[in-house]
Amino acid sequence: MKRLTLIVVLLLILIGSLGMPERTSAQTKVSPAETIKLDSEMISGLGARSIGPAVMSGRIASIDALVDKGRLTIYVGSAGGGVWKSENGGTTFKAVFDKYNQSIGAVAIDSSNPKTVWVGTGESWVRNSVSVGDGIYKTVDGGDTWQFMGLKDTERFARIVIDPTNSNTVYACATGHLWDANSERGLFKTVDGGKTWQKVLSANDETGCAWVTMDPQEPKILFASLWQFRRTPYSFNSGGPGSGLFKTTDGGATWTKLTKGLPEGDLGRIAVAVSPSRPSVVFAAVEAKRSGLFRSEDGGESWHEMNSGNEVIGRPFYFATLFVDPQNYNRVYKPSTGLAVSDDGGRSFSGIGGGVHSDFHALWINPENPEQIFVGTDGGLYTSLDRGNHWRFIANLPLSQFYHVTYDMEQPYNVYGGLQDNSTWYGPSRAPSGIQNRDWRSVYGGDGFWAFPDPTDPDYVYAEYQGGNLARINKKTLETKDIKPFPGAGEKKLRFNWNAPIALSPTQKGTLYLGAQFLFRSRDHGNSWERISPDLTTNDPNKQKQDQSGGLTVDNSDAEAHTTIYTICESPKNPKIIWVGTDDGNLQITRDGGKTWTNIVGAVPGLPAHTWVSTVEASHFDEGTAYATFDGHAAGDMKTHVYRTTDYGKTWQSLATPDLSGYAHVIREDGVRKDLLFLGTENGLLVSLDGGQQWAQYKGGDFPKVAVRDIAIQPRESDLLVATHGRGIWIVDDITPLRKLTPEILSKEAAFIEERPAAMIIPASEFGFNGDAEFVGRSASENAIITYYQKKRHIFGDLKLEIYDSSGKLISTLDGEKRRGLSRVEWSMRMKPPKVPPAAGLVPNFFSFVGPRVLEGTYTVKMIKGKNTYTTTLTLVSDPRSKHTKEDRLLQYQTALKLYDMLGRLTYTVDAVVDARNQCRQLAGRMPEGSAARQQAETLAASLEALRGRLVATKEGGGITGEEKIREQMGSLYGAVNGFEGRPTQSQLDRMTALGKEFDSMAAEFEATAQKDLPSLNASLEKEKVPGVKVMTRAEWDKKQETK
């Protein structure tokens, strides 16, 4: 198609040159707006920024590492945030898997070929909130590029092992589907580097591989466990006839089921580990009716129960690993809720701890130094240099798994949200030195979900932990008041979802909703609650047996709580209209403030019964309009279900297109442009400009293919806040351009698009040298942003932006961004840097390097794109936090400008002095030795050099001479005035006058020299027929500056 366009263009050019220009109109004919296909790259030029946080990080599923030439390379596979690589032992990390599925089950480095790394997608720690994978991947260049290597339908991997003697032989332990049966599960083997796979161990369609371990000395000997398991929205089952522990001695061709000494009956999840230093010793943690830790001393033939304490039997579905010390076969680590270790071959275990997050899923022991350990937990990665007695948190992994995001109205505003096993946090949307770990505060405990700053009192925040445990917390003192409602007398307990919905009324400040099976409303900060609905769920008793959930090991943590309300939305147009969705598939509406309710889910076409309602979003524009997403993944339905109604739910239209993928978590309608919709699915963020007819995947600013759980729009800043479940919070600053991006603009070659007015953020910086080991989130730009759209990438000729002030004076010229679609260019709002004369060193003040920042007001922006010019305006406003009056700011600007001009004059003077001195020196060299002319020239050169030495610092040979002359004094004063955009101090103003006088007298001296001494020298020179010294004029100097 492109090529065709090119041909057309070329033909037109040729025809044009033959004098048939009228034909060119065919080229510029605009195609009908509705046919323009919205694609990713049209919108992704609006970059997103990751603000972390990494302070609590997120769940780690797998770790592998390798010591190579004294440096430690680490790969970390996270539950929802992709693969991260460190080449410096964990000081810094970079994401290497962002374009692919971010749920990682297993990472494995090929020890004989360290640039080859395998990644099995889909986490195997199958908690309620776990994601899904899409196969196995391989890199052969250390993570730069990845190849898909198949096993697409396995959904999740527990482990990958590579034959240390043959890189092409790889075993992949595929756990398989969690929410339904499937056949692509079990232990797979490739002998051709992943081109083909053979399933070498399996049982049935409900059973997958739980672990595999290889004898490090005999790579044909492997132990593997199979596990039968299933999760539903309301239950979990671990265990069944498919489970078992197996051994092969022929590389997987034949397997022996190991039973001697192991528990009888159905087994559950089994962890198994061979001792590297004595492979005949094998350990297994076996889930059974009586779970325990077992040890074999004969290579798995027979087993003995060693221990059955909590440290080794807890939550096998979530913790099923064992690691034996590489040098001591009696030391075995059991990661679990805590981390336990046995130093006596498994007989006794003791918990090791320190300040480390609970829930250990991954562990790596340095084979060359077993004192060094890395662990992966629900709260990120830690390392220990004393076998786990003390830990260092790796504060560089922004893997935070948010469930929701909200905001407040402070300056700058804060974002709030709750995370998987990591409480509720809030942090700023901008900070002078980037958004750092220390900028985040936690306000509660447990697993966090919804959090809302109290709109009636910004010191308070509502937050919750699992099971509807709602509290109102003072942000300053952290005093916490439990405000959960209770059942009435004789009633059964309230049923709250794991992720129980809280909602603020958009129309009534101070009104709060909370969903159990009933909808509750409070108008007094949660002090009392009105029940404003009957049970809105199916109340199906078969889905309320959580006390029996778990299978062999009962696990009733609220994670399977069901038949509960999951989403609540009051109409911004009418407080009597409230929409409610439940986890068991009811979608209810009241139009009378809760007196009567109607279940409208039956009107949703093409939706499987009882599909979880993940969001309902009432329109900002019309009370009968609402949007809903449904998430069927917990029943094995991975489709994207997204709908809209315009008649109070009587009828629904699907907004799904073939471009969508991933089960849907959230839909949000923009509050300004009706047809601008944002959709979050397990596979990322999508944007529609036309009410859901077309969707484009958003990829701006390296936004990964990560699960998007919630979306909010900060209305004052028009910022899009994206809560990811594995990569923290991302902000797309100012979505005004998406509101203005019309089909008409999309059909143009290029066009400016409006932005919000640019605030001139108070210049500020923080001191800090924290090393490289801490994540720093990107702050919002402090520059003015200019946005435009281009139909095609700009390649030939200029693409420049010129900024003019209201008098038409050109202030700045900027290079334009070339990309196709929306582009953003940043302008510092500053004039060119001041002219500063050369001297011994730089003026040590940052603001002496930059020009004065212009005043607030409206500026004209011209885009010169090849032969075309486009014009728009740009409005600059002061920082809303700034307390300076316009008069003071004007005085500051004028003072800075005066000093700026003085520096210019100083530069001219110094340049002219140096130029004259050089001429004198040169001429002196041409005069005969001892001649009067020569002596005159030398004297003059020396006096000019002396003058220079009073104008600028000239002491060479080191940075800290402390020498200050006019240049340094004037430069520092300029910097000080330039860096503070309020009224300059009286001392500064006086100093400017004084410096001006000092400088004027030196400039006068130079002028006097030029008028007095030079003519006499030039007269002597004339006698020798040598042209005299000529002083450079300001006009000549100015001209030189222009050509520079």
Partner 1 sequence: MRKKTWLIVLILAVFVVPMYAQTVDEIVAKNIQARGGLDKLKKVNTIRVSGRMVVGPGIEAPMVIEQKRPNQMRLEFTIQGMTASQGFDGKSGWSIMPFGGVKDPQPMSEDDRKTIDEQADFDGPLVDYKAKGNKVELLGKEPLEGTDTYKLQVTLKDGSVRTFYLDADSFLEIKQEGKRTIRGTVVEGESLLGDYKEVEGLMMPFSIEAGTKGSPQRQKITIDKVEINPTLDDSRFKMPEVKKEEPKPEDKKAKP
Query: Which residues contribute to the site for partner 1 (CB under 8 A)?
Result: 2-3, 6-7, 9-10, 13, 39-42, 44-45, 49, 71, 87-88, 94, 702, 778, 782-783, 792-799, 813, 815-816, 818-821, 826, 828, 830, 832-833, 835-843, 848-851, 907, 914, 918, 955-961, 971, 1040, 1043-1044
Q: How far is the CB of 783 from partner 1 (least distance, A)?
A: 6
Minimum distance of partner 1 from residue 237's CB (angstroms): 43
Least distance in angstroms from the C-beta of 891 to partner 1: 21
Looking at the Cβ atoms of 838 and 1027, the one nearer to partner 1 is 838
Q: How far apart are CA 93 and CA 283, in angstroms?
A: 33
Cα separation, 418 vs 425, whole angstroms: 6
Peptide bond into 412 cis (omega under 30): yes
Cβ proximity to partner 1: between 740 and 830 the closer is: 830
Sheet holding 821-827, edge to edge: 750-753, 784-790, 821-827
DSSP strand pairing (94-95 vs 339-342): unpaired
- Please list the residues that pair with 103 across neighbouring strands: none
Of the CA atoms within 13 Å of residue 477, those in its CB half-sphere come to: 5
Q: For residues 899 and 977, is the Cβ–Cβ distance under 8 A?
A: yes
Among residues 532 and 840, whose Cβ is nearest to partner 1? 840
How many whole angstroms separate alpha carbon 646 and alpha carbon 619? Answer: 9
What is the closest distance, in whole angstroms, from the C-beta atom of residue 1009 to partner 1 in the complex? 18
Q: 């290497």: which residue's tokens?
A: 96
Q: What is the 3-state secondary structure (H, E, C) of 78-109?
A: ECCCCEEEECCCCCCCEECCCCCCCCEEEEEE
Report DSSP state, residue 434: B
Q: In 636-783, which ranges are continuous DSSP H helix?
A: 736-740, 743-746
Distances (CA, A) of 458 to 508, 521, 975: 16, 20, 37
Kindly tell me which of 296 and 823 has the beta carbon lying closer to partner 1: 823
Spatial contact of 589 and 618, defined as CB atoms under 8 Å apart: no
Residue closer to partner 1, measured from CB, 538 or 779: 779
Least Å from the CB of residue 792 to partner 1: 7
Q: Are strands 550-551 and 235-238 parallel, antiparallel or unpaired?
A: parallel
Q: Which is nearer to partner 1, 744 or 815 (CB)?
A: 815
**Minimum Å distance from CB 959 to partner 1?**
4
Nearer to partner 1, 648 or 849 (CB): 849
How far apart are the two ends of the chain, measured CA to CA in Å? 44
The residue type at 730: W
CA angle 387, 62, 416 (to 5 degrees): 100
**Closer residue to partner 1, CB minimum distance, 637 or 702:** 702
Q: Given the complex with partner 1, which of 341 and 914 has the nearer CB atom?
A: 914
Provide the sign of the torsion angle of the four alpha carbons 826, 832, 836, 837, taken in this order.
positive
| Cβ distance to partner 1 smaller for residue 446 or 841 | 841
Question: To the nearest whole angstrom, how small is the minimum distance from the Cβ of residue 497 to partner 1?
Answer: 38
Please give the helix or strand (H or E) that residue 244 lies within, else none. Answer: strand 244-248
- Least separation in angstroms between residue 2's CB and partner 1 is 6
- Using the minimum distance from each CB to partner 1, give the nearer residue, 40 or 878: 40
What residues contact 579, with CB distance under 8 A and at least 6 apart?
A: 567, 568, 569, 570, 571, 587, 588, 589, 616, 618, 626, 628, 649
Q: Would you call the peptide bond into 53 cis, given omega within 30 degrees of 0 as the criterion?
A: yes
> Which CB atom, from 92 or from 875, has the smaller least distance to partner 1?
92
* Minimum gap (Å) between residue 281 Cβ and partner 1: 38
Q: What are phi and psi of 566, to 5 degrees?
A: -120, -25
User: For residues 1029-1039, b (16+ Cβ closer than 10 Å) or e, as one string?
Assistant: bebbeeeebee
C-beta of 173: minimal distance to partner 1 in Å?
Answer: 32
Q: Which of 944, 992, 985, 988 is nearest to 966 (CA)?
A: 992
Task: Quote the least distance from Cβ 67 to partner 1, whole Å.
Answer: 14
Identity of the amino acid at 78 = S
Q: Enumerate the β-bridge partners of residue 948.
A: none
* Closer CB to partner 1, 605 or 838, in the complex: 838
Give whichever of 710 and 817 is closer to partner 1, judged by the CB atom.
817
Strand, helix or coil for residue 922: helix
Shortest reach from residue 807's CB to partner 1, in Å = 21
> Is the Cβ–Cβ distance between 274 and 223 less than 8 Å?
yes
Q: What is the bridge-based pairing of β-strands 292-296 and 304-307?
A: antiparallel
Q: Shortest Cβ distance from residue 42 to partner 1 (Å)?
A: 7
> What is the C-alpha separation between 73 and 70, in angstroms, rounded?
10
CB of 1011 to partner 1, least distance (A): 24
